[in-house]
Amino acid sequence: MTRALQRTARVLAVAGALGTLSTLTACAVQGPAQQVAAPLPAQWQAPLPHDGSVTELAKWWQQQGDALLAQLVTAAQEASPTVASAGARITQARSERVASGAALAPSLDAAASVSRASQQSALPMGTTAQAALQASWEIDLFGAGRAARDAAQARLDSAQAGWHDARVSVAAEVANQYYALRACEQQLDVARQDAASRADTARLTELAARAGFQPPATAALARASAADGNNRAVAQRAVCDVGVKALVALTALPEPELRARLAQVAPVAPPAIAIDALPAQVLRQRPDVYSAERAVAAASADVGNARAQRYPRLTLTGAVGAANFSTGGHSTQLDTWSIGPLALTLPLVDNGRRGANVDAASARYESAVVSYRASVRQAVREVEEALVNLHSTGEREGDANTALQGYRESFTAMEDRYKNGMASLLELEDARRTKLAAENTVISLRRERSAALVALYRAAGGGWTAPQQQPQ
């Protein structure tokens, strides 16, 4: 077997020399451009928070001072089927990358067999034992294998970015649901206070009507107002319960445990986000944009692979083996080795199949380019919209708080006048409705600001940064 291994080494050495020569003299077929330009504005049109200074978005959840939100985000990412599917796509893309890379190198298989037979010939009955190493190699003359490898690598990069994009999306969804629930709780507190105030007014009005100081119609109006306030509180509580169940579905936490955590932690307003001043710098932090860019590179490599299939293919095979035939106590050693055949396959007539494959790959490339540019435009739009909403809520917040303070003072004065018999119940209810609307407006405005901050976090990529690409 030592001689067989020596012959195997010779076979592989000759194959390596032939492969190196073919690689040096090969002319690889190229596909279209792997990177294309996308139109970007010179600067953001909407006002930037904090004049566009840079912050680490990846640590944004931890910087909010709300430990519960960070825990909910982590739990949701671990339980999310979207993140799990993205992880499975990474594994699949990695296996395809390994397979395409392995196709560029020679393959080596081992085979062994033992047989015993008797033939109607001069040979006696005997036992034949064989062992062999078989090598095969398709020499990548025109770059078809390298193009397939590059396409698989680009798809692996795209799948990895897709996994990060799924995590950012889940985090944004959990944050939006969490802030919506906190706003609902605040509105529920306002509704309960309003219902208690209406019930107290109805009680006093009922006493006055029995004493003859108020007409029965006024007492009926007060009872109706109290019932309406209680109805609002019950409806608001149902909305909050639905929000809790949505968080349970996202995080996979038991509902009693989640409610206990929510009751222990006071809500915290999210801090502001600062982003880079230049759109191009922000878009580098978008995993979906990077994924679309790598899809263009993969489609380009597919075009190169389809074009290379129209050119000749060169394959080399070889084998080395050892055999032993034993009969009647005697053994005969039979060693064999071979290099070849060196086979050249020339495509002659395929009825347009390879040309159609090139056209299809080129069409997929053009589609990938259009999709990439559309993703860039969409990313710019999402950042601009988030900046507009953030700026708008910031400007409206001061006015809303001033209006709420004024309506509260007006309602308190009207309530005192009504208790002293100087105002009607209709005037009191009108002041109450105005105050309630102002309180809900402030809460809704804070909710809008939180949603704008989460949208900006999502639009800016959630702290992800593109990996450095190696030159081809």
Judge whether 12 lies within some domain. no
Distance CA(303)–CA(65), nearest Å, equals 51
Judge whether 46 lies within some domain. yes
Judge whether 5 lies within some domain. no
Judge whether 16 lies within some domain. no
For residue 472, the model assigns a pLDDT of 41
Does residue 337 sit in helix, strand or coil?
A: strand
Judge whether 423 lies within some domain. yes
Distance CA(192)–CA(400), nearest Å, equals 21
For residue 235, the model assigns a pLDDT of 95
421, 218 contact by CB (below 8 A): no
Provide the domain count of the chain. Answer: 1
R_g over Cα of the chain: 37
Residue in the structure block whose two tokens are 């006048």: 417
Residue in the structure block whose two tokens are 């080399």: 316
Spatial CA neighbour of 179 closest among 259, 232, 240 = 240
Which residues, given as ranges, of the chain have pLDDT below 50? 1, 4-5, 8, 11-12, 14-15, 17, 19, 21-26, 470-472
464, 285 contact by CB (below 8 A): yes
Count of other CB atoms within 10 angstroms of residue 188: 20
For residue 1, the model assigns a pLDDT of 43
For residue 331, the model assigns a pLDDT of 80
Give tens-digit pLDDT for 77-124. 899 999 999 999 999 999 999 999 888 888 888 988 888 776 555 656
Distance CA(72)–CA(171), nearest Å, equals 9
Spatial CA neighbour of 140 closest among 304, 299, 315 = 315
For residue 25, the model assigns a pLDDT of 42
Judge whether 21 lies within some domain. no
CATH number for the domain spanning 227: value is 1.20.1600.10
The residue segments making up the domain with residue 418 are 30-105+141-311+356-459
- Which one-letter amino acid corresponds to residue 85? S
Environment class of 220 (CB within 10 Å of its CB; exposed 0-12, middle 13-18, buried 19+):
middle
**Phi/psi of residue 103, nearest 5 degrees:** -65, -20
Spatial CA neighbour of 268 closest among 72, 450, 77, 452 = 450
Distance CA(29)–CA(311), nearest Å, equals 9
